[in-house]
Chains A and B, each alone.
Chain A
Amino acid sequence: MRIRSMSGILVMVTLMAGTVLAHHSFTAEFDQNKPVKLTGKVTEMKFSNPHSWIYIDVETNGKVVNWALETGSANALIRRGWKRTDLPPGTVLVVDGWQARNGSATANVSTVTFTDGKRLFAGSSNESAPTK
Chain B
Amino acid sequence: MFPWSMKARPAVLAIAAFAALCQSSVAQQAQQKTLPRTKDGKPDLQGIWQARGSAAYDLQDHAAGAGAPAGKGVVEGGAIPYLPAMAAKKQENFKNRQTADPLGKCFMPGVPRIMYLDHPFQIFQTPEHIAITFEWSQVYRLLYLSGKPPLHDIAEFWMGDSRARWEGDTLVVEVTGQNDKTWFDMAGNFHSEALGVTERYTPLDADTIQYEATMKDPKTFTKPWKISVPLVRQKNVTRLMEYQCQAEAEEANGAFERDPRTWYPKPGSTPSPLGAPAAMQVGSPAVVKSGANLHRTADGKPDMTGLYQSNAGGANYGLEKHGRDEFTPATRGVVIDPADGSLPYQAWARAERINRELPYRGYDDPTAHCFVAGVPRSMYVPSPMQILQPPGYVVLLFERMSWRIIPLNGRAHIPDNQRLWQGDSVGHWDGDTLVVDTTNLNGKAWLNEVGDVVSHAEHVVERFTPTDVGKINYRATVTDPIVYTRPWTIEIPLSRQADELLEVACHEDNGDLQNLKNVRDEYRAQQKKEK
- By a beta-carbon cutoff of 8 Å, the part of chain B in contact with chain A is 152-153, 155-156, 307, 309, 311-312, 314, 316-317, 326-329, 357, 359-363, 365, 368, 382-384, 399-400, 449-450, 497-499, 502-506, 509, 511-512, 515-516, 518-519
Determine whether the beta carbon of B360 is less than 8 Å from that of A21.
no
Chain A residue contacts of B362, Cβ below 8 A: 24-25, 27-29
Give which listed residue, A32, A73, A106, A128, contacts B327 with CB less than 8 A: A32
Q: A107 CB to closest chain B CB, in angstroms?
A: 12
- Identify 18 new A-B residue pairs, CB closer than 8 A, beyond the known A73-B504, A101-B519: A22-B327, A22-B328, A23-B449, A25-B365, A28-B359, A28-B519, A29-B512, A29-B519, A51-B512, A53-B511, A78-B152, A79-B502, A84-B153, A100-B515, A127-B316, A129-B309, A130-B309, A132-B498
CA distance A32 to B327 in the complex (A): 8
- If A25-B449, A51-B512, A125-B382 touch, whether A32 touches B326 (CB-CB below 8 Å) is yes
Question: Is B383's CB under 8 angstroms from A79's CB?
Answer: no
Among residues of A, the one whose C-beta sits closest to the C-beta of B317 is A23
Instruction: Check B368–A49 contact: CB distance below 8 A.
Output: no
Partner of B518, one of A24, A73, A102: A102
Q: Which residues of B contact A75 (CB under 8 A)?
A: 383, 399, 502-504
Question: Which A residues are within 8 Å of any B CB, using their own CB?
Answer: 20-30, 32, 47-51, 53, 70, 73, 75, 78-79, 81-84, 100-102, 106, 125-132
Report the bound CA distance from A102 to B360 in whole Å. Answer: 13
Q: Quick one: which of A22, A101, A126, A132 contacts B499, CB cutoff 8 A?
A: A132
| Cβ-defined contact, A127 with B314, below 8 A | yes
Contact between B327 and A129 (Cβ–Cβ < 8 Å)?
A: no
Q: Are A79 and B359 in contact (CB under 8 A)?
A: no
Q: Are B504 and A49 in contact (CB under 8 A)?
A: yes
Point out the residues of chain B lying under 8 angstroms from A50, CB to CB. Answer: 504, 506
Q: Of A24, A126, A128, A132, which is in contact with the most chain B CB atoms at under 10 Å from its CB?
A: A24
Q: Is the CB of A132 within 8 A of B497?
A: yes
A131 to B518, CA, bound (A): 34
Q: How far is the CA of A24 from the CA of B367 in the complex (A)?
A: 12
Asked if residues A21 and B329 are in contact (CB atoms below 8 Å), the reply is yes
Grouping DSSP codes into helix (H, G, I), strand (E, B) and loop, the A interface class, with mixed when no group exceeds half, is loop
Is B327 touching A27 in the complex (CB atoms < 8 A)? Answer: yes
Query: Does the CB pair B328–A83 fall under 8 Å?
Result: no
By a CB distance below 8 angstroms, the chain A residues around B383 are 75, 129
CB < 8 Å neighbour of A127 from B382, B384, B506, B518: B382
Say whether B506 contacts A24, CB under 8 Å.
Answer: no
**B504 in contact with A84 (CB, 8 Å):** no
List 14 A-B pairs, Cβ < 8 Å: A22-B328, A23-B328, A23-B449, A24-B328, A25-B365, A28-B515, A28-B516, A48-B509, A73-B504, A82-B153, A106-B515, A131-B307, A131-B384, A132-B499
Q: Which residues of A contact B503 (CB under 8 A)?
A: 49, 75
Q: Which A residues touch B498, using CB under 8 A?
A: 132
Q: How far is the CA of A73 from the CA of B506 in the complex (A)?
A: 11
Closest chain A residue to B155, Cβ basis: A84
Minimal beta-carbon separation of A46 from chain B (angstroms): 8
Q: Counting chain B CB atoms within 10 Å of each CB, which of A20, A28, A30, A48 scores highest?
A: A28
Q: Which of B153, B328, B384 has the most A CB atoms < 10 Å from its CB? A: B153
Residue contact A27 to B359, C-beta cutoff 8 Å: yes
Of chain A, the residue at the smallest CB distance from B383 is: A129
What's the Cα separation between A19 and B499 when bound, in Å? Answer: 23
Are A131 and B153 closer than 8 Å at their CB atoms?
no
Closest to B509 in A: A48
Q: How far is the CB of B430 from chain A (nearest CB, A)?
A: 30
Residue in A closest to B307 when the chains form the complex, CB atoms: A131
Residue in A closest to B401 when the chains form the complex, CB atoms: A49
In the assembled complex, the CB of A80 is this many whole angstroms from the nearest CB of chain B, namely 10
Q: Contacts A29-B516, A78-B502 hold; do A131 and B511 have CB atoms under 8 A apart?
A: no
Task: Indicate if the CB atoms of A127 and B309 lie closer than 8 Å.
Answer: no
The minimal Cβ–Cβ distance linking B509 to chain A, given in whole angstroms, is 4
